Amino acid sequence: MTMRHRRVLRTLSVAGALLGALALSSCGGGDSGTPASGGSAQTGGAWIWALPAGFPTPAVPASNPMSAAKVDLGRHLFYDKRLSGNGQQACAGCHLQDKAFTDGVAVSRGSTGEFTARNAQPLGNVAYNPLLTWANPSLLVLERQMEVPLFGENPIEMGINESNKAAVLHRLADAAAYKDKFAAAFPGEADPVSWPNVIKAIAAFQRSLISGNSRYDQMLVGTAAFTPAEQRGRELFFGDQAGCSRCHNGFNFNDQVVDAATVAVSTPFHNIGLYNVGGTGAYPEPNRGVMELSGLFKDMGAFRAPSLRNVAVTAPYMHDGSVATLEEVVDIFAEGGRNVPSGPYAGDGRLNPYKSALIRPLGLTAQDKADLVAFLRTLTDTRFLTDPRHADPFKAP
Ligand code: HEC
Ligand code: HEC
């Protein structure tokens, strides 16, 4: 049995339903031949993906086809604090472009001061995620996920509720910035300023956030060369000894991917031995992974393997932001988990009974670990982090 077969595989029972909801919309072909261009282009109304080499065409729900006008509207809404109950918070408040749309803190603060339980996730290539957030097997599409930050009350993020919902829409309808934008994005609709359309536009903007122009990508197509350390790190990453690519693989360096041609999707979750509170195998509440929803102990501490694209700018790391640096992340994997020596969460995560069989002491030297970190740093796509098409439209360029 190969290592790949031994990993925890949860096959999505609703895969059929998901794929039924997804269909190719007005998308052009995949790779245009220009290497690693990233993002997308637009000609004559139809949306044309201009994808980096090796990137498949994203799946787009038939009910929300891509268009340049919709992406433009979504970008404005994403950066607009008026889209929160008290006018204090934008999506971009927790998803900052220069940090690959993360926010640099362990857990984030919502519009009314409440903290999220988990670390804000990067949004690059989010179009390819078949499941959203760290450990929720039931959040299948961006349009549904967005209801959490917009309307969620535990914790409050954007703080929109029944009593301010209409007022927030009026605020948008009255704003000069949106004059004509809703009508352009949703042509022919009598009343285009609506919550479903707000959600569709932001989802379209998020699907346009494609990142595939890192030095790693340039190395693959021969336009950049690796240093010896980066090359050694690459071999370790994809090799048997470190085995990182058993969970961080493919063009997006993760193991859950959906694209326009997907017929079956696998959605594994893994416990990597970060905690073992009191030796019981427990992770601290409310961050016990898929178990929070399934109630099953076998799902204790099981989280989604994140994409590692742009990982050098997304610190702190892990579902709860409890690891500060890439060096520490690699140390934890090298040890086969994390020992928490003291405090309320004391316990040796390396001995967690629910840990993935793939997480074990790797026998890496200090040089190996430094090489792995050097490789991870090649995954930064500077153009994506500064691309004006993804930037705050309310700021002068
Ligand atoms: C208060 C901070 C905060 C705000 C505001 C916020 N987010 Fe997030 N976002 C997070 C956190 C934290 C997570 C991880 C959630 C989890 O796993 O429970 C997340 C996760 C996501 C994900 C899942 C990404 C993935 O790879 O699965 C998407 C998509 C997303 N946010 C989009 C948005 C949008 C769109 C908005 C605005 C409507 C928004 N967020 C507002 C903090 C925030
Ligand atoms: C068994 C699957 C698996 C293997 C093997 C694995 N990882 Fe991970 N990795 C994960 C999961 C799952 C997480 C998130 C865990 C959590 O938050 O509880 C993660 C998190 C990370 C993070 C933090 C990313 C972020 O945005 O927070 C980095 C960096 C990382 N892994 C690098 C590596 C490296 C380097 C290796 C090889 C030494 C490796 N991983 C091997 C599954 C794996």
Res 70 pLDDT > 50: yes
- The DSSP-derived string for 14-77 is THHHHHHHEE--S---SB-SSTT--SEEEETTEEEE-BPTTPPPPPEETTS---HHHHHHHHHH
CATH superfamily of 21-211: Cytochrome c-like domain (1.10.760.10)
Which tens digits make up the pLDDT trace of 220-276?
999 999 999 999 999 999 999 999 999 999 999 999 999 999 999 999 999 999 999
Q: Is the pLDDT of residue 18 over 70?
A: no
Higher pLDDT, 355 or 41: 355
300-330: pLDDT as tens digits: 999 999 999 999 999 999 999 999 999 999 9
In this predicted structure, what is the pLDDT of residue 177?
92
**pLDDT tens digits, one per residue of 166-221:** 999 999 999 999 989 999 999 999 999 999 999 999 999 999 999 999 999 999 99
Residues near 243 by beta carbon (within 8 Å), at least 6 away in sequence: 3, 358, 362
Closest CA to 376 of 331, 327, 320: 327
Smallest CA separation from ligand 2 atom 36, residue: 244
Residue nearest to atom 19 of ligand 2 (CA): 305
Query: Taking 80 as the threshold, does the pLDDT of residue 35 lie above it?
Result: no
Q: What is the pLDDT of residue 46?
A: 75
Residue with CA closest to ligand 1 atom 3:
94
Q: Where are the domains of the chain?
A: 3-10+214-382, 21-211
Residues of the chain with pLDDT > 90: what percent? 87
- Ligand 2, CB cutoff 6 Å, lining residues: 7, 242-244, 246-248, 270, 272, 274, 303, 305-306, 308, 311, 314, 317-319, 326, 329-330, 333, 356, 358-359, 372
* Omega prior to 228 cis, within 30 of 0: no
pLDDT confidence of residue 199: 98
Torsion sign, CA atoms 101, 104, 105, 110: negative
Is the pLDDT assigned to residue 32 strictly greater than 60? no
Quote the longest CA-to-CA distance of the chain.
65
pLDDT digits (tens, 9 = 90+) for 88-108: 999 999 999 999 999 999 999
Decide if 300 contacts 289 (C-beta within 8 A): yes
3-10+214-382 classified as CATH 1.10.760.10:
yes
The pLDDT, as a whole number, for residue 179 is: 86
Quick one: pLDDT at residue 396?
A: 72
**How many angstroms is it from 280 CA to the middle of ligand 2?**
22
**Residue 24 and residue 112: Cα distance in Å, rounded?**
39
What count of Cα atoms within 13 Å lies in the side-chain half-sphere of residue 28? 17
Cα 101 to Cα 306: distance, rounded to the nearest angstrom: 14
Phi first, then psi, for residue 41 (nearest 5°) are -130, 170
Ligand nearest to C-alpha 96:
1
